[in-house]
Amino acid sequence: MKDFILGLIPANLSMKNLFTLLVVNLLISQGLFAQQYVDLLHIQHSNSIGKVDAVSFDQTNFTESSVDLLLPIKLDSTKTIITGAIGERTYFNDRTGNSIMIYGLMLKAGMNIKHSQNLSGSYILLPRIASDKLQFNSNTFQLGGLILMKRKYSEVFSFKFGVYSNSEFFSPFIVPVLGFYFQKARWEMNVSMPINADINYTIKKNLLAVGFRYDGISRSYFRYNTANRYLEKANNELALYARVNIKEWNFKIMAGHSLWRKFGEFDSNDRADLALPSFKIGSRSPIYESALDELLIKLSLTYRLAI
């Protein structure tokens, strides 16, 4: 069997081209992505430009780093297994002088199903551990999931809708997702609100683009260093960016500002009944709460494969 499979591969095909061929075969046959590329690896680091508090004279500090990996596995002409992982680390010191490091690790396990020529759905389970220590137990574990449907209307436009949910420490969290993908000439728009939106314009094909990006997120982390508490992070960011393409690698530098970024620490039993993107049902009393809206610089490196 091994000799038979190897015999199907041209002798002059390099390992790089073989890898590209395999991934393209996985993705095109599924209609897994509406855009003409897939990001298999995304590494990002951001740093906020701190402010000096008028009372304590301490300077705030906020940095975030993340790695996002995607590994699709084809089953047949209509089904692809989706696997991967997202690791993240956040460091900040608030205006009370507290220095805090928090971590998150999320696994991706699901399937993309091509229901028809123009309709596909992604059904992904997202287990996650989140705390100030990378330890797996019932205190740090969260279970989330994503259902995202994509309807292709033309070669340049597709519509998407779905729901994201996670068992956050502050309450069950439910996020309806609505968006679209549009690409024509030099313009590209990839919108999945209220989670993220990216609008960019290509100045020179396969080399340089400029754009605008929005990211919005709310997450929670168990605190080992303060018994029976959890930390809630809410963060929205707007940024302008320039992107340089070097073959499959994309380098992006962004400058922008955070909006309504805040951290709150709560007793583990102090939970809301339900959380939606803009509000929570049920009242809570934070042990402390800090607002950290600041200018930010963000760098990212992406392995992007054209399909």
State how far the Cα of 138 lies from the Cα of 36, in Å rounded to an integer: 40
Give pLDDT tens digits for 178-195. Answer: 999 999 999 999 999 999
Token representation of residue 298: 């963000």
> Where does the pLDDT of residue 21 fall: very low under 50, low under 70, confident under 90, or very high at 90 and above?
very low
* β-pair type (249-267, 288-291): antiparallel
**Mean pLDDT, the chain, whole residue set:** 85
How many domains does the structure of the chain reveal? 1
User: Residue type for 287, please?
Assistant: I
pLDDT of residue 8: 37
pLDDT of residue 59: 65
pLDDT of residue 25: 47
pLDDT of residue 291: 75
State how far the Cα of 212 lies from the Cα of 259, in Å rounded to an integer: 15
Give pLDDT tens digits for 239-281. Answer: 999 999 998 999 999 999 988 888 889 999 999 999 998 889 9
Contact, 181 vs 35, CB < 8 A? yes
Give pLDDT tens digits for 136-150. Answer: 888 999 999 999 999
Give pLDDT tens digits for 98-122. Answer: 788 999 999 999 999 999 999 999 9
Domain that holds residue 268: 2-306
pLDDT of residue 50: 67
User: Residue type for 63, please?
Assistant: T
Q: Assess whether pLDDT exceeds 80 at residue 29.
A: no
More confident residue, 146 or 53: 146
Q: Assess whether pLDDT exceeds 80 at residue 11.
A: no
DSSP class of 101: E
Whole-prediction pTM value?
Answer: 0.84
Which of 300, 301, 261, 266 has the alpha carbon at shortest distance from 285? 266
Token representation of residue 7: 């015999």
